[in-house]
Chains A and B, each alone.
Chain A
Amino acid sequence: MTAGAMSAGGPPVVRKHLALRLFAWLVAWVLMYAALPAMAHWIVYDAMGLAVDTRLAAAVEFFVYEVPKVLFLLVAVVFAVGIVRTFFTPARTRALLAGRRESVGNVLAAGLGTVTPFCSCSAVPLFIGFVESGVPLGVTFSFLIAAPMVNEIAVVLLWGLVGARVTLLYVTTGLAIAIVAGWIIGRLRLERYVEDWVHGVRVGDTALPEALTFAARVQAGRSAVREIVGNVWPYVVVGIAVGAGIHGYVPAGALAGILGRDAWWSVPVAVLVGIPMYSNAAGIVPVVQALLGKGAALGSVLAFMMSVIALSLPETIILRKVLRPQLIAVFLGVVASGIILVGFLFNAVL
């Protein structure tokens, strides 16, 4: 019932109570997060009584520590991003992009793609809404590439499991791929490969409903947590279990031959293998972290991750409703080439 009372309004008293409750949650979160390493240690060595320095203990401790840690980080960031996203509706993003010149438009679209709420299930109405209101095709693609690739789940997991440096590299190169690939698609003048029926659709005026209250924005953050963390947690658990297995049982350096810097073909193979695979960042990052620890090269592993997340069969099938096969092929080809290039670059430089 409190939820109903909250979303109903924003009198100052309600607002103050809500702010106090958020603060209490934050304090509880920090205390519990700080206690996680000690708790994991206690579970593995005291409660389960595993011998120190065994493979089993290493794998179990990794699992018991990383699962709650990642879930804690996810809850906090998804909540915050859920609130931020109430300020960036797709309709507002479209208004910002309509009639925008290319290049500037590509950069803006990729940036907005990371903060605008996007779900591949509404990719079709979004595509039509963008293109029919004068957002250039290439700019629309920059948005559609950045939106799934650079998202809060990928950032949280990379930051928490792999580190800040790799996270920044992933975000920058992901945005660069979205900007450049969109720009190239725009230059190629492929508008005729958009399905004809798209142009026949009459797009009505968007009546922007409701200015949200503070309470409603907090409510949006809460439902984002319920929805996203609720969907993603099994991927986190399975991903970290696989990662823990690799962590404990695959000898260090074992992968250097297959996924190492010297195997040049590992980048294109990683990308090709990644395209039909469908997972979200939550399932793939724990595996990425474990592979990196066993001698796989950063470029090959990041290329694999980008390809799994950014290019997926389900989204391609959804986009097929509005794009002819030729344009789908160009889209996949350009983005895959960009990812391969990034992979080679990292393997050569880092």
Chain B
Amino acid sequence: MKIEILGTGCKKCQSLTDNVTAAVAEAGSGHTITKVEDIPSIMAYGMISTPALVVDGEVRVAGRVASVEEIKALLR
């Protein structure tokens, strides 16, 4: 699946990226991870609280750091 992490480069965004990387490592191949850091692209998703997680173009988590388990569930 196509995973996008929306964030302005803050600490929480980094934690979310780490969790996504860990979740993808456990969930297996076939996933791509992209970091979206420029404001207009973040705003295009309507996100006003970061970090946010977008899976296949759909916002799944907004404004908080999702756990590895939670992300794995989203990738199923």
A91 & B67 in contact (Cβ 8 Å cutoff): no
B-contact bits for A225-247, CB 8 A (1 contact / 0 none): 00100000000000000000000
Q: What residues of chain B lie closer than 8 Å to A204, measured between beta carbons? A: 43-46
A128 & B39 in contact (Cβ 8 Å cutoff): yes
* A129 contact from B40, B43, B69, Cβ within 8 A: B43
Q: Say which size band chain A's interface belongs to.
A: 35 or more
**Least distance between B5 CB and chain A CB atoms (Å):** 14
Q: Which residue of B lies closest to A321 (CB)?
A: B39
B60 & A206 in contact (Cβ 8 Å cutoff): no
Asked if A104 is at the interface of the complex by the 8 Å CB criterion, the answer is no
Q: What residues of chain A lie closer than 8 Å to B10, measured between beta carbons? A: 119, 121-122
**Total A-B pairs, Cβ < 8 A:** 96
Q: From B9, B39, B42, B46, name the one whose CB has the most chain A CB atoms within 10 angstroms.
A: B46
Asked if A172 is at the interface of the complex by the 8 Å CB criterion, the answer is no
Asked if A223 is at the interface of the complex by the 8 Å CB criterion, the answer is yes
**Least distance between A228 CB and chain B CB atoms (Å):** 11
Asked if B17 is at the interface of the complex by the 8 Å CB criterion, the answer is no
B-contact bits for A54-74, CB 8 A (1 contact / 0 none): 000000000000000000000
Asked if A117 is at the interface of the complex by the 8 Å CB criterion, the answer is yes
Which B residues, 24 to 59, have Cβ-Cβ distances below 8 Å to chain A? 39-40, 42-50, 58-59
* A207 contact from B11, B46, B49, Cβ within 8 A: B46
The answer for the CA separation of A282 and B15 in the assembled complex, in Å, is 23
Asked if A261 is at the interface of the complex by the 8 Å CB criterion, the answer is no
* A122 contact from B44, B45, B48, Cβ within 8 A: B48
B39 & A201 in contact (Cβ 8 Å cutoff): yes
Q: From A117, A126, A207, name the one whose CB has the most chain B CB atoms within 10 angstroms.
A: A207
Asked if A4 is at the interface of the complex by the 8 Å CB criterion, the answer is yes
B67 & A90 in contact (Cβ 8 Å cutoff): no
Asked if A290 is at the interface of the complex by the 8 Å CB criterion, the answer is no
**Least distance between A81 CB and chain B CB atoms (Å):** 14
Given A124-B8, A220-B64, A223-B65; A206-B47 close (CB under 8 Å): yes
The answer for the CA separation of A208 and B45 in the assembled complex, in Å, is 11
Q: From A121, A130, A208, A321, name the one whose CB has the most chain B CB atoms within 10 angstroms.
A: A121
Asked if A316 is at the interface of the complex by the 8 Å CB criterion, the answer is no
* A209 contact from B13, B44, B61, B67, Cβ within 8 A: B61
A7 & B70 in contact (Cβ 8 Å cutoff): yes
* B42 contact from A90, A125, A219, A223, Cβ within 8 A: A125
Which A residues, 97 to 144, have Cβ-Cβ distances below 8 Å to chain B? 117, 119, 121-122, 124-126, 128-130, 132
B12 & A89 in contact (Cβ 8 Å cutoff): no
The answer for the CA separation of A220 and B40 in the assembled complex, in Å, is 28
The answer for the CA separation of A129 and B40 in the assembled complex, in Å, is 11
Which A residues, 23 to 80, have Cβ-Cβ distances below 8 Å to chain B? none
The answer for the CA separation of A133 and B45 in the assembled complex, in Å, is 14
Q: What residues of chain B lie closer than 8 Å to A205, measured between beta carbons? A: 46
B-contact bits for A1-36, CB 8 A (1 contact / 0 none): 001100110000000000000000000000000000
Q: Chain A residues in contact with chain B, CB under 8 A?
A: 3-4, 7-8, 89-91, 94, 117, 119, 121-122, 124-126, 128-130, 132, 200-210, 219-220, 223, 227, 321
7 contacts between A and B (CB under 8 A): A4-B67, A122-B8, A122-B63, A203-B44, A207-B58, A227-B12, A321-B39
- List 11 additional A-B contacts (Cβ < 8 Å) besides A8-B69, A202-B40, A204-B46: A117-B64, A122-B63, A125-B43, A129-B47, A130-B48, A202-B44, A204-B45, A206-B47, A210-B61, A220-B64, A223-B64
Top 8 closest pairs, chain A to chain B, by CB: A129-B48, A121-B10, A4-B69, A206-B46, A204-B46, A90-B49, A122-B50, A204-B44
